[in-house]
Amino acid sequence: MRPRLFTYYRWLFLFLAAGLCLLPLWATFIGGFKTTGDLRTNALGLPKQWVSENYLSILHEARFWQMLGNSTFIAFFTVLLVLIISSMAAFIFAHLRFAGKRFIADYLAIGLTFPFATAILPVFIRVRDLGLLDSLWGVILPQVAFQLSFSIVLLRGFFAELPKELFEAALIDGCSYRKMFLQIVLPLSRPILATVGVLALVGSWNNFLLPLVMINRDSLYPWPLGIMQYQGQYGTDWGKVLAFVSLTIVPAVGFYLLAQKQIIAGLTAGAVKG
């Protein structure tokens, strides 16, 4: 039995920590409803007078929806390509046997070693030479490429654990590899596909450095660039900026609440894999 004191201190500590976690978010959300004068004197309390104009003006701006659209486009094709390309490669590594397989698998895993910032300038030159600069594909393709290593490692581990008897039976019945992949492996691997997909989605949605380097045109900005531009434009008109920030938090938190399991599983996947 745990002593009573421990229980009290435990709750006190947890509530305090939770408060510190959420306080900045609360201040941001509520700050969007305040006038500038109110913000100066009253950071945490409810607004003296509720102003909804900050929020409404942003929601009426075409720019806001455009950058969410850009981010959605980038994220959609990133997730799609990551899932298709890495699951095909992982299938080969998990279930086929041929000379040199180990070498190719190791080659594709070297991406685990370093962050993409180390190669960003050559990537920029390559994207420019391919004529993809200032286009959404100039963000998508490098992003997918840098996501491959980890995705393949995760998928491969899962594919290899699937019951072997299934594949033996399928092969004896004359099932082709392609059919085996599409009709047996993929349907059985939904949990790990969800994890990998969520991981790619979160990474893409929040990516900042890559679009910062690749995209110049305002109309192509994904939201992290847009929000920085907005802040630069309105400076310390914090009411506006905070409303903007809050509106971008909403989809993130909503998605988190929906896919909490996959998100945490994906982001801590390294721990499970050891």
Partner 1 sequence: MANTDTLDLKPTPRDSPRPDQFLRGAKTPFKSGLLSTCLLFLPPALLLFTVFVTLPILESGWYSFFNWNGYGQLQLKHWINFDNYIQALTDPIFGHSLINNLFIILVSACIQLPIAMWVALLISDRSRNSLVFRAIFFVPYILADVVAGLIWKYLYDGDYGLVAMVYGWFGQPAPFVLAKVGWATAAILLVIVWKYFGFHMALFIAGRQGIPSDVIESAKIDGASHWQVTRHVVLPMMRPVIVLALFFSILGSLQQFDMIYALTGGGPLNSSHSAVSYLYTFGIKRMRVGFGSALGVILFIICVLVMMFYKRLFMRESETGKA
**Least spacing, CB of residue 56 vs partner 1, in Å:** 20
Is 26 in contact with 44 (CB distance < 8 Å)? yes
Burial class (CB in 10 A: 0-12, 13-18, 19+), 91: buried
Nearer to partner 1, 136 or 263 (CB): 263
Rounded-to-10 torsion of CA 155, 160, 163, 166 = 90
Tokens 């939770």 label which residue?
18
Cα(146)–Cα(192) distance, integer angstroms:
19
**Least spacing, CB of residue 150 vs partner 1, in Å:** 12
Nearer to partner 1, 64 or 205 (CB): 205
- Angle value at C-alpha 241, between 238 and 244, nearest 5 degrees: 150
Nearer to partner 1, 73 or 256 (CB): 256
**Least spacing, CB of residue 272 vs partner 1, in Å:** 7
Token pair recorded at residue 71: 């981010």
Cα(37)–Cα(16) distance, integer angstroms:
29
| Structural Rg of the chain based on CA atoms | 24
Tokens 């840098």 label which residue?
146
Nearer to partner 1, 174 or 187 (CB): 174
Nearer to partner 1, 220 or 230 (CB): 230
Nearer to partner 1, 12 or 59 (CB): 12
**Least spacing, CB of residue 176 vs partner 1, in Å:** 6
**Least spacing, CB of residue 59 vs partner 1, in Å:** 18
**Least spacing, CB of residue 267 vs partner 1, in Å:** 7
